[in-house]
């Protein structure tokens, strides 16, 4: 009789323990969907994007927040975007395939005063012209750029390489196998572009730089490009 009573008590305790565990798990699940939890997730996202030295891509965000449901992360990101639309000096933008918190463009002059930016750090007209040719015609060789601009551009290209605005993308399949140049992720970041599709209309860029629009958009056939030979 005592054995039966003990077995019954143990069974009852086990059932109560299971119910408590299920209740705790259910409560945790409910907590994850509460406004407080959503606000915390939004705050985490904001901190990650702000602290990242480069635009934080969706892939990186999902990896960092792997413990959170993807749907909740997307909702928090949308909420953060809406919140920044109404802020004063900062904005959340999509740049180079990722997200970044930056100052408003119309306030850049004030920010430059803080860092005492020198005029020598700005790109020259020659550099901008060369960069425009590369951006719209990439991949393109140094000789082709010089032919378009009518002047030697070797020194300008070196400056753009040093500033990581352009890169060597391969070699052209012609005699001498000259390097082919293309723009970089830093170029997208510097000019606030998400991808090359966000480039200004070629006509507007050509007018601003005094170049012919067809010259900017004429691209090289893909089969003329060779992979970069590190040797």
Question: Averaging pLDDT over each range in 4-13, 17-26, 130-139, which range is the top one?
Answer: 130-139
Residue spans of the domains in the chain: they are 34-117, 123-226
Predicted local distance difference test score (pLDDT) of residue 3: 52
Is pLDDT larger for residue 1 or for residue 116? 116
Beta pairing class for 179-183 and 166-172: antiparallel
CATH class, domain 34-117, is mainly alpha
Predicted local distance difference test score (pLDDT) of residue 230: 44
CA atoms within 13 Å, Cβ hemisphere of 40: 9
- Here the tokens at position 149 are 């601009």
Q: Could you read off the pLDDT of 105-132 as tens digits, one per residue?
A: 888 778 777 766 554 457 788 888 899 8
Q: What Å distances lie between residue 3 and 9, 10, 13, 14, CA to CA? A: 10, 11, 15, 16
Name the CA radius of gyration of the chain, rounded: 28
CA dist., res. 203 & res. 211, Å (int): 9
Residue 11: band (very low, low, confident or very high) from pLDDT cuts 50, 70, 90 = low
CA dist., res. 17 & res. 224, Å (int): 71
Q: Could you read off the pLDDT of 206-231 as tens digits, one per residue?
A: 666 555 555 555 444 444 455 554 44
Domains 34-117 and 123-226 share a fold: yes
Q: Could you read off the pLDDT of 92-109 as tens digits, one per residue?
A: 999 889 999 988 888 877
CA dist., res. 78 & res. 75, Å (int): 5
Please determine, looking at this structure, whether the domain spanning 123-226 carries the CATH number 3.30.1360.100: no
Q: Could you read off the pLDDT of 184-212 as tens digits, one per residue?
A: 998 998 888 888 888 887 666 666 655 55
């Amino acid at each position: 009789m005592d054995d039966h009573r003990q077995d019954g008590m143990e069974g009852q305790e086990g059932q109560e323990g299971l119910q408590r565990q299920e209740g705790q798990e259910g409560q945790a699940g409910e907590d994850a969907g509460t406004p407080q939890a959503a606000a915390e997730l939004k705050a985490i996202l904001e901190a990650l994007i702000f602290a990242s030295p480069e635009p934080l891509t969706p892939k990186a965000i999902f990896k960092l927040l792997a413990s959170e449901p993807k749907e909740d992360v997307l909702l928090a990101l949308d909420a953060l975007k809406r919140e920044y639309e109404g802020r004063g000096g900062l904005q959340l933008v999509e740049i180079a395939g990722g997200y970044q918190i930056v100052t408003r463009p119309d306030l850049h002059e004030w920010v430059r005063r803080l860092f005492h930016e020198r005029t020598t750090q700005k790109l020259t007209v020659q550099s901008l012209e060369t960069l425009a040719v590369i951006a719209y015609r990439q991949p393109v060789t140094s000789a082709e750029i010089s032919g378009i601009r009518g002047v030697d551009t070797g020194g300008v290209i070196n400056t753009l390489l040093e500033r990581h605005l352009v890169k060597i993308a391969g070699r052209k399949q012609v005699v001498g196998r000259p390097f082919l140049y293309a723009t970089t992720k830093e170029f997208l970041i510097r000019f606030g572009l998400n991808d090359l599709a966000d480039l200004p209309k070629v006509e507007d860029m050509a007018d601003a730089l005094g170049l012919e629009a067809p010259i900017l958009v004429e691209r090289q056939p893909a089969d003329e490009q060779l992979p970069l030979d590190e040797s």
